[in-house]
Chain A
Amino acid sequence: MQKIATALLCFVFLLAACSAQNEPEAIEPTLAVPVVVAATATAWVPTSVAPTEVPPTAMAAETAVSNVDVVEPTVAALAETAVASADVVEPTVVVEPTPETVMVNVVAGRTDEGAFFLGNPNAPLTVIDYSDFL
């Protein structure tokens, strides 16, 4: 009788252990910052509060579209020769001039701050694209 009780107890414990293993582990959400949905089907919501000219001082812009890891660039690395590492994968895309949209009577130049612009310097609307090539 005692043996049966012991066997039953072991069986119960075994069942409990198996069911615990079968439960999927809770996956904690990894997104630590809220994602602002920038564009709906019908409207693109501005992120800034005041539609003013860009001031030279800090502007409050509560944006969190992408997780950003800001890494300070290494100045010395730019003067180095080609990367020689067994882990580096050579780019497979051949660098060729890609077909461009025909630009007619457009001007290309620099703004006073040094950023490159394209289009009528006196255009009624200026669009600044803050972007990373990556």
Chain B
Amino acid sequence: MIENYVNSGKIKIVFWPVLNHGDPSVYSTVTAECVGQQDPLAFWQVHHTLFENQGSLWSADRDYYVQTAVAAGVDQATFESCYDGGTGLEQVMALDAMRRERGVYSQPIFDIGGELFAGAPSYDIFAATFDAALGQE
């Protein structure tokens, strides 16, 4: 998807956090948020890492997330200030509130050109949907 649609400039992907699993959702999302505050590109690296290690997130502690952030190359002290200080949490909670206002209560939900699609199908189906939406432009 990155190679065929993002790199080519066809689509812009927006990640909108959904906090539906309590504290583990919050901790992981705040981690990504605080990394992104220093480097938006690093946000996507952490985004990838967190999904790749999803099984660990249920029991991950603060140290785990600090390590994740440091591995992404951001400044540890700055990250910890964001993570512990509440600025990351504030932003994440605001985004979560907005998605509820939009009627999004489960995940994943994809807004593709204004239409909502539920679930995570295969790449081929994503591609077909993207192509169809792009063809309508």
Contacts and interface: CB of A to CB of B under 8 A. Distances in A.
A126 B113 contact: yes
B114 A114 contact: no
B76 interface: no
A39 B122 contact: yes
Contact of A89 (B41, B50, B59, B109): B59
Contacts of A128: 14, 16, 110-111
Interface of A is mostly: loop
B54 interface: yes
A12 interface: no
Interface residues of A, number: 82
B75 interface: no
Contacts of B130: 125, 127
A117 B45 contact: no
A116 to B, nearest CB: 5
Interface stretch (A1-9, A13-21, A24-32, A58-66): A58-66
Interface in A65-122: 65-66, 68-75, 77-83, 88-93, 95-98, 100-106, 108-111, 113-121
Interface residues of B, number: 96
Interface in B9-51: 9-30, 32, 36, 40-41, 43-45, 47-51
A133 B116 contact: no
B104 A61 contact: yes
B7 A106 contact: yes
Interface of A: 36-39, 43-48, 51-61, 63-66, 68-75, 77-83, 88-93, 95-98, 100-106, 108-111, 113-121, 123-134
Interface of B: 2-3, 5-7, 9-30, 32, 36, 40-41, 43-45, 47-64, 67-68, 71-72, 83-84, 86, 89, 91, 93-95, 98-99, 101-122, 125-126, 128-130, 133-134, 137
